[in-house]
Structure 1
Amino acid sequence: MNKIAIIGANEYQRRLIRKAIEMKLEVHVFSWLHDRKHINSDISFHEVDVRMIDKILSICKSVDIDGVCSISSDLTNITVNYICNKLSLPSNPPNVLRLTTNKYLMREELLNNNAPVPLFSSNKDNINFNFPMIVKPTDRSGSRGVTKVTSKSDLSEAIKRSSQESFSNEIIIEEYIEGREYSVESFTLDGKHNILQVTEKFTTNAPNFIERGHLSPARINTEIKEKIFNVIKKSLNILGIITGPAHSEIRINNQGDIKIIEIASRIGGDFIGSDLVINSTGIDYLQLEIKRSLSINIDKSELQQKSLNNIMSYFFFSNEDQLNFNNIRHIVKLIDYKIINKPKLKVTDSSHRFGYAVFEVNTSDIELVIKKLNLDKN
């Protein structure tokens, strides 16, 4: 029986864990103590900080692990890639993780190779673009520390907030790009980048741009889709990604110009990679990543779209959001629904949202659902 190590056990990682169980693997989970209560007792749970990479490496060696993986988190992705490189398991070169977990270094590499990116700086005294601007940590996800700044008087406070959220106390300042936001899920196999799905993203807009919901597939035409595919494949090459998943975030303005916001060498979070891809396309993204990590052969047919369904996710920020969803529940097909926390007075990043729904919607009802859920405010 193959032994798989999964780093982390949050809401999204638990879907990966369930998939590994479904594949009848011996599953070893490495995570913090508070995650143990969510894990089946018949799984080997190792209570350890996911940043303690050498300790996790030692345990993986002792149990003779065959593969290591995680989804949705840059933090766990760093640990995964480090261990895989040490154990000669399938992985990207270390430089890929250096670039795809640091937004400033990533942006530099893309710019130097003529990929379309926003103007940016790491120094408030060396900015060559105008307000509004976006300030964010170089090494966090989930909208943590992200602020849209419209005047010089607010810049220092935004930088302070982003620095505090950053693991390295480093920030990036970039020009604000008007337009809709999308994510692109891909899987690289045998050196070929396969685009699995393009997802449309709905956020709270300024100042923090916390994700409120998603739609897969996105409402884009064939011409724009082809442009996205070309830009993403070029960018994955620039960053040196040679194997496995990638989660790319882009903005497209009204003229159809694409700007790359960031690219992660992992499966996307917020149920995009774990739920939306498989339910909208029939492509089992999680199984692909587990098989790749274990060096199990992947047939190219597994990367081909088998269905085309409209799948949405919707996150609850308030009791009103929950009520809005209940009002459209009769016209959608529910896939998953959960209340996680009590509603807070203010949601400042993705971790503060208190629940979610994942559901299928008929094409004829998409616009109505988006309107009723107050999503389309871009």
Structure 2
Amino acid sequence: MTQKKLMLLGGLRYLLPVIEEAHKLGAYVITADYLPDNIAHKYSDEYCNVSIIDKDAVLKEAQRLQIDGILSHAVDPGVVTAAYVAEKMGLPFQCSYKTACILQDKHLFRKFLSDNGFNCPNAKGYNNIEEALNDVNYFNWPVIVKPVDSAGSKGVTRVDDKSKLKEAIEFALSESHNGYFIIEDFLEKQGFSAGSESFVVDGKLLYNGFYDQYFDKNAINPYTPSAEVWPSIMEQKYQEEIKSELQRLFTLLEVTTGLFNVECRVCTNGKAYLMEVSPRAGGNRLAELLNYAADVNINAAETRKALGLSIENMHEPNYKGHFAILVLHSDKTGVFQSVEIASKFIKEHVIEEELRIKEGDIVYSFTGANAALGTLFLRFDSREELAFALENQSTWLKINVK
């Protein structure tokens, strides 16, 4: 039997569990990006130096290497390319290239939601600053300004004062790949902002790992999640509504099989909203944590899907406690020295500690997910105990930066 080849776009440590799962299946793993020193390339079988946003260049390499599957696992910039290559080569993917383009562009996604009767904020996309400034009265203020094609809350600003709109647009454009940005009404949330790692099999939504997001109100960018918590305490009626609307979305978009990262929220107007739906795993190692927290290995399932293998026993997660991913971050730019965690806390609650930096490295204030220093996987017996720990981190955690 010929060894199957799996191409993974990107080189971040998010790919390591997928590389491990692929190797368990006997597959040959190729990692691809333009940064040869990225950590994932040390664990793959072959490295391909190519920009993951250049879809035709990636296709050329994929054809040369005769791959059997492709993923942009938790790597947002490569999703459209992965869908493109999969469609051109007849490989498994969550959706068509056209659908991936809709889901990965915030403006196109908002338009699709609006056109199909989903709850959707008042929104409009632009590639011209002056045109946007002339539309200030179109929106119900305050507004959120975002690049249409970025993830990890990069380039995102809430604007309350119309005179600050131009500055926010310029910031969004600084984080954009294609020069487009979106302005939309700010939706005041009820309870927590939330999300889900959701798995679809043959068009049917079978798994939803709903989580709640915590934010560091003192961070430079207060819209970057500083922690995710499972299981979500969102009211069950809203979870069911979101699942129903996700299924309707997936049916309309003719989705097939695979993992999706979903951001959603319930707002003070009593409505539930799909904010983002991306055909990839979420960042911050969400799928990895769920493999500790629940009884379905969605990284393994996604790897099997990419290689054209069957997905068995996919079902809603059954949790083994209360879990959190804490994003380690600095409140200032400086030189990293150390992370100190109380020994009793480590013994009772820390499942895994991951640091992406070492002593002496320059670190930056928390402006987006790319400024994370690492993660802690945490487990508690109750949500109350978990919430207390997150809200009182100074009692057990110290990040030393000078």
TM-score normalized by structure 2? 0.85
The residue that corresponds to 1:84 in the other structure is 86
Range 46-55 or range 184-193, more displaced: 46-55
Partner of 2:399: none
More moved, 281-290 vs 135-144? 281-290
The alpha carbon displacement at 1:337 in A equals 2.6
Q: 1:28 to 1:145 in 2, by over 3 A?
A: same
1:165-244 aligned within 5 A: 165-179=175-189, 180-205=192-217, 208-244=222-258
For residues 9-32 of structure 1, the C-alpha deviation after alignment (integer angstroms, 9 at most, x for no partner) is: 112123322222233211111122
Q: Who is 1:47 aligned against?
A: 49
The one-letter code of the counterpart of 1:310 is H
Amino acid paired to 2:64:
S
2-structure distance, mates of 1:115, 1:228 = 11
Describe how 1:1-378 pairs up with structure 2 within 5 A.
1-36=3-38, 38-40=40-42, 43-91=45-93, 92-122=95-125, 123-126=132-135, 127-179=137-189, 180-205=192-217, 208-254=222-268, 256-273=270-287, 275-299=288-312, 301-318=313-330, 322-323=339-340, 328-340=345-357, 342=361, 344=363, 346-363=365-382, 365-373=385-393
1:319–1:343 CA contact under 8 A, matched in 2: no
Task: Report how far residue 88 of structure 1 moved.
Answer: 0.6
Change (3 A) 1:269 1:94: same
Distance change in 2, residues 1:351/1:326 (3 Å): farther
Do the aligned partners of residues 41 and 216 (structure 1) sit closer, same or farther apart at CA in structure 2, a change above 3 Å counting? closer
Q: Name the % identity.
A: 22
In the alignment, what sits opposite 2:400? none
Aligned-partner Cα distance in 2 for 1:42–1:113 = 42
Specify whether residues 36 and 257 from structure 1 end up closer, same or farther in structure 2 by C-alpha distance, changes over 3 A only: closer
2:128 aligned partner: none
Contact 1:124/1:173, CA 8 A, preserved across alignment: no
Mapped to 1, the partners of 2:241 and 2:209 lie a distance apart of: 14
2:129 match = none
Distance (whole Å) between structure 1 residues aligned to residue 224 and residue 321 of structure 2: 25
Tell me how far apart the structure 2 counterparts of residues 222 and 131 of structure 1 sit (CA, whole Å): 30
1: CA distance, partners of 2:23 / 2:301: 14
Amino acid at match of 1:340: I
Give me the whole-angstrom Cα distance separating, in 1, the residues matched to 2:248 and 2:74: 23
When residues 327 and 155 of structure 1 are mapped into structure 2, their CA distance, relative to the original with a 3 A threshold, is farther
Query: Structure 1's 325 and 101: CA in aligned 2 closer, same or farther, altered over 3 A?
Result: farther
Indicate conservation of the 8 Å contact 2:230/2:322, yes or no. yes
Contact kept? 1:159, 1:171, Cα under 8 Å? yes
Could you report, residue by residue, the CA deviation over 1:226-265 in whole angstroms, capped at 9, with x for unpaired residues? 2221222223334442332211111212464212221112
Query: Greater shift after overlay, 16-25 or 150-159?
Result: 16-25
Q: Distance in 1 between matches of 2:75 and 2:40?
A: 18
- Equivalent pair of 1:107/1:262 in contact (CA under 8 Å): no
Contact 1:4 1:28 survives alignment (8 Å):
yes
Q: TM-score if structure 1 supplies the norm length?
A: 0.90
3-state SS of paired residue (1:357): strand
C-alpha distance in structure 2 between counterparts of 1:255 and 1:101, whole Å: 27
Query: For residues 272 and 317 of structure 2, what CA distance do their matches in structure 1 show?
Result: 24
Residue type of the alignment partner of 1:16: V
Task: Give the deviation of 1:185 after TM superposition.
Answer: 1.6
AA at the equivalent of 1:57: L
Separation of aligned partners in 2, 1:303 and 1:78: 27
Per mean C-alpha deviation after superposition, the further-off stretch among 4-13 and 330-339 is 330-339
CA distance 1:319–1:204, shift in 2 (3 Å): closer
Offset of 1:7 from its aligned partner? Answer: 1.2
Note the C-alpha offset of 1:38. 4.5
Which consecutive unaligned segments of at least 5 residues does structure 1 have? none
Distance in 2 (CA, whole Å) between partners of 1:355 and 1:198 is 22
SS in 2 for 1:160: helix
Change (3 A) 1:219 1:235: same
* Long gaps (5+) in structure 2: 126-131, 333-337, 395-402
The residue identity in structure 1 corresponding to 2:134 is D
